Amino acid sequence: MTVTHNLPDGPRKHYLLRVFKFITQPVEYLEDFAKIYGDNFTVWRKNRENQIVYFSHPQALEQIFTSDAKCFETGGGNGILRFLLGDHSVILLDGDRHQRQRQLLTPPFHGERMRAYGQAIQEITQQVTDEWEIGKPFNIRASMQEITLRVILRVVFGVDEGEMFQKLRELLTSVLDFISSPLMSTAFFFNFMQTDLGAWSPWGRVVRLIQQIDQLIYALIAERRAESGENRQDILSLLISARYDDGQPMSDVELRDELMTMLVAGHETTASALTWAFYWLDQLPEVRDKLLQELATLGVNPEPSNIARLPYLTAVCQETLRIYPIVIGGFLRTATAPIEIMGYQLPKGTFVVPSIYLAHHREAVYPQPQQFKPERFLERQFSPYEYLPFGGGNRRCIGLAFAQYEMKIALATILLQYQLSLVNKRPVRPVRRGLTLAAPAGMQMIPTPQHNVVRT
């Protein structure tokens, strides 16, 4: 019996121009194709096999996210990150190994454990903002990165001062800034650029920075293992004491790879989301005023758990992640056998991309999708196939609850003290930052004392 394959329509010409646009104008790349071809389209490659199919219709996303894990291979599609995250990262695993690792990594990011980190987030936010000078412009992204990096180092690694903290902080900032530069963002998509030509070559520099980070991480793992009886609450210590179903602990290499995954996935992303939130609050004073009225109900020195429960603050964070999701598409999935999605027959080897950005901009789900309107999240509940800033299915981000919690607490802590105003009021569009979507790097804001919060 012959199986006929039919894929959605899509662009077939100008392959290199398309790749260039995908790298330099990721939002326009998607929007332009969606205007012509609709919710689902194929980006045809030169070879006749392994085509890339984008889906953004909720029905298609539900079929992808609820299908048996065996229908898709996902780890291989993320091989681009192997140089940074290592072979044992949960992002690069498939099948039983992926499931095993998820089960071990999930508990520290939920429930009481996670809530215990709220005070640390408040303290770190305060420390960073104490360095601001009233009326003096500062780089908003750099400040937000400083907050999220310190949070990760304290909460995940259990370090917040001393030589180890300073070294890790400097090296991680260097490597993440470097791989997010335009040159290195391009290198992610061209194998020939991923060549170590010595310490002075771009890729060689990254390789050596990662080697230095590894030395520090392995030293920290050894230190933690030696003091395992001390009842520490950082995530590294919790993972060291965790056990797989067969009673085995994680190896040093597995620990290192998961720590790097948490750093890369949990630091840059939350910093970008916070940067966007402050951009929108300055662009839309009516949203900011409404949020300040809600914050005023908290009283003095609010508890992190009370901050996290505020409905309008939650809606502002949700809308921030809807309009410009930090990760523009869900993990690339490779069909392991022929599969039908929304009536399309996809052959084995087809690359499937759940498009988060396009799903978040469907007029049928989000009227006036280009407008920032937090109220939409107070008016209705969206399904996980309509709103998916953290991906979906068995690849949904493990740290999503922590990321939202951190975002709300940092945002509230700053807004209770400062009003932040953009130096340049012109609207901005997202730009590529490595594999993510971010506000332009040089965005400057000016802090002034917050007079609008009248606490009750």
Q: Find out whether 326 and 438 touch, Cβ atoms under 8 Å.
A: yes
Element containing residue 79 per DSSP (H, E): none
Residue 363 CB neighbour total at 10 angstroms: 9
Q: What is the CA radius of gyration of the chain?
A: 22
Residue 243 CB neighbour total at 10 angstroms: 10
pLDDT-flagged residues of the chain (< 70): 1-5, 47-49, 77-78, 182-200, 228-230, 452-456
**pLDDT at residue 19, as a whole number:** 82
Which DSSP category does 38 fall into?
-
CA-to-CA distance for 184 and 186, rounded, in angstroms? 5
CA-to-CA distance for 308 and 325, rounded, in angstroms? 20
What pTM, to 2 d.p., does this model score? 0.92
**pLDDT at residue 192, as a whole number:** 57
CA-to-CA distance for 351 and 46, rounded, in angstroms? 14
**pLDDT at residue 1, as a whole number:** 40
CA-to-CA distance for 431 and 439, rounded, in angstroms? 6
**pLDDT at residue 355, as a whole number:** 94
User: Sign of the C-alpha dihedral, residues 176, 178, 183, 187?
Assistant: negative
15-449 belongs to CATH 1.10.630.10: yes
**pLDDT at residue 2, as a whole number:** 46
Element containing residue 154 per DSSP (H, E): none
CA-to-CA distance for 164 and 187, rounded, in angstroms? 30
Element containing residue 418 per DSSP (H, E): strand 418-422
Q: Find out whether 134 and 419 touch, Cβ atoms under 8 Å.
A: no
**pLDDT at residue 453, as a whole number:** 61
Number of helical H runs and strand E runs in the chain: 19, 12
